[in-house]
């Protein structure tokens, strides 16, 4: 008996545009809700404010833990995507500075949802460990571009930038940590500038 000819696998269908928009809207609203109310935020209220039914929310995020994890991972992915966007649209040193300032914004936002993150299995530490490589890769790529352009000294070690900025996690309980962290960005860049690069520093971003 001749073997039945197998048909080629069908390509995976991309989510419909409206389904993707629903998902993004849910994550947006959920981030605000978890920042404000912690893990006690009402999923029914999140669905209502997102303009979707409960069934739609649970189809995307079957459990509260799934939603909390997705909110955090979405923020990390946006941060990594911004590094690539800055690299494509700004000179290397300006791109590095812009991304480091955005990283500080990311830390500030994360501090608001950590109480909710701590309620899931493994807590916030598991989620942060899982995203560490993505953030580290973005840091290294941004610093290496500034070195390659001659803006930073050739002996600049990207890991020094990573350690210095990641170290701000240990200061977030102190008053004024955010303005201090933003000043640290300029200190790090100024201290690593190549003597042959232009002496002026990138225009300062308005302080929040």
Q: What is the dihedral of CA 37, 168, 81, 11, to 10 degrees?
A: -60
Q: How much is the pLDDT for 98? A: 96
Q: How much is the pLDDT for 170? A: 78
Q: By residue range, what is the domain housing residue 29?
A: 17-62
Q: What is the pTM of this model?
A: 0.79
CA distances from 21 to 31, 60, 77, 78, 95 (A): 15, 12, 16, 15, 28
Whether residues 92 and 179 share a domain: the answer is yes
Per-residue pLDDT of the chain (208 residues; tens, 9 = 90+): 555 554 555 555 555 788 889 999 999 999 999 999 999 999 999 999 999 999 999 999 999 999 999 999 999 999 999 999 999 999 999 999 999 999 999 988 888 999 999 999 888 888 888 888 888 899 899 999 999 999 999 999 988 888 888 777 778 878 888 999 899 999 999 999 987 655 544 444 444 4
Is residue 69 a contact partner of residue 77, using CB atoms and an 8 Å limit? Answer: no
| DSSP per position, 123-157 | HHHHHHHHHHHHHHHHHHHHHHHHHHTTSB-TT--
Whether residues 170 and 105 share a domain: the answer is yes
Residue 205: give its domain's CATH number. Answer: 1.10.357.10
């Amino acid at each position: 008996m001749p073997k039945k000819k197998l048909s080629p696998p069908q390509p995976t269908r991309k989510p419909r545009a409206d389904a993707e928009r629903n998902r993004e809207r849910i994550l947006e609203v959920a981030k605000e809700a978890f920042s404000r109310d912690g893990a006690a935020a009402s999923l029914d209220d999140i669905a209502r404010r997102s303009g979707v039914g409960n069934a739609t929310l649970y189809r995307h995020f079957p459990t509260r833990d799934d939603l909390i994890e997705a909110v955090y991972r979405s923020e990390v992915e946006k941060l990594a995507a911004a590094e690539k966007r800055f690299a494509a649209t700004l000179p290397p040193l300006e791109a590095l500075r812009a991304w480091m300032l955005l990283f500080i914004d990311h830390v500030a936002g994360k501090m608001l949802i950590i109480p909710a993150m701590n309620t899931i299995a493994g807590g916030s530490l598991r989620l942060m460990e899982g995203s560490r490589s993505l953030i580290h890769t973005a840091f290294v790529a941004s610093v290496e571009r500034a070195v390659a352009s001659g803006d930073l000294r050739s002996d600049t070690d990207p890991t020094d930038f990573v350690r210095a900025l990641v170290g701000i996690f240990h200061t977030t309980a102190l008053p004024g940590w955010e303005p201090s962290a933003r000043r640290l960005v300029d200190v790090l860049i100024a201290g690593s500038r190549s003597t042959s690069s232009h002496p002026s520093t990138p225009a300062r971003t308005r302080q929040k």
